Amino acid sequence: MTRRKKIYEGKAKILYEGPEPGTLIQYFKDDTTAFNGQKRAALEGKGVLNNRISEYVMTRLNTIGVQNHFIKRLNLREQLIKEVEIIPLQVICRNIAAGSLSQRFGLPEGQALPRSIIEFCLKDDKLGDPMVAEEHITAFNWASPQEIDDIMATTLRVNDFLCGLFSGVGITLVDFKLEFGRVWENDYARIILADEISPDSCRLWDTATNEKLDRDRFRRDLGNVIESYTEVARRLGIMSEMP
Ligand code: C5P
């Protein structure tokens, strides 16, 4: 029997109705997926780590004025968040060639990009999250031109801040994925950062060795997934509170 009404279940998280109107509870599962859900596993403790790492990053972002959905962590696997109207886009920001960018353009993994690149993909599992242009976003009304501008400006601020945060602990931020949502105030929609920021949604390389400390360890069968996520938490100084 569940205590709360389930609003949505994704590959790595579940959203439940929150205690107050306008709030939700975000539950972090241990389930890990790759290649649009074709590869799956449950990695014990992953949800606990991502809950804690995302709490830390979202809280730090809030201190520099990047508004986001995080309110407070409730327990090992759950956090209280603001309910948003999710914008159906994955916003990817890249500093170094890797993953699908390397494949698409034949760029060696690890090659620094001339500048940070932002890409948009439609959040649609059935279609395999296809990349979309701003033209598609505005034509199909997924976001307005002003919202795209706001999203891009916020993404670059997040990138600057996270590059510094991670480089301070010997980690290179290669790329990451963000999601945004609208919070309605009367007739005006404010855009805030949503979802999670964790080793599931970022590529994080040890700066000294280029060792991968993120979901690529699962995607590429490199092993030690949980150990790597734990190392990220440890370096961020949140390990002492981990179970
Ligand atoms: O696979 P790709 O190179 O396009 O991924 C870019 C970044 O976006 C990576 O950090 C990856 O972990 C993240 N991503 C994600 N969820 C997806 C697709 C990509 O977190 N569905």
Q: What is the pLDDT of residues 92-130, one digit of tens each?
A: 999 999 999 999 999 999 999 999 999 999 999 999 999
Last residue of a domain, one of 57, 82, 107: 82
State whether 78 and 149 are in the same domain.
no
DSSP structure class, residue 240: G
Confidence (pLDDT) at 3: 72
Question: Which CATH number is 109's domain given?
Answer: 3.30.470.20
- How far does the centroid of ligand 1 lie from the alpha carbon of residue 51, in Å? 18
- Contacts of residue 214, Cβ cutoff 8 Å, sequence gap at least 6: 199, 200, 202, 203, 204, 205, 228, 229, 232
Q: Choose among 101, 231, 120, 239: nearest CA to 174.
A: 101
Domain of 66 in residue numbering reads as 6-82
Instruction: Pick the atom of ligand 1 nearest to 214's CA.
Output: 12
41 Cβ neighbours under 8 A, 6+ residues apart: 31, 32, 218
Contact 183, 150 (CB under 8 A): no
**pTM for this prediction:** 0.97
The pLDDT tens digits for 22-49 are: 999 999 999 999 999 999 999 999 999 9
Q: Which of 35, 36, 40, 92 to mutate to test the pocket of ligand 1 (most atoms within 8 A of CB)?
A: 92
Q: Is 216 in the pocket of ligand 1 (CB under 6 A)?
A: no
Q: Is the beta carbon of 212 within 6 A of some atom in ligand 1?
A: no
Q: Which two tokens stand for residue 203?
A: 């590529």
3-state percent helix, strand, coil for the chain, nearest multiple of 5: 30, 35, 35
Q: Ligand 1 centre and the CA of 76: distance in Å?
A: 25
Question: Do 153 and 178 sit in the same domain of this protein?
Answer: yes
For residue 25, report the distance from its CA to the centre of ligand 1, in Å.
24
For residues 121 and 92, the answer to whether their CB atoms sit within 8 Å is yes
Q: Does residue 1 lie in a domain region? A: no
User: Which atom of ligand 1 approaches the CA of 101 most closely?
Assistant: 3
The CB-side HSE value for 72 (13 A sphere, CA atoms) comes to 4
Q: Is residue 111 part of a domain?
A: yes
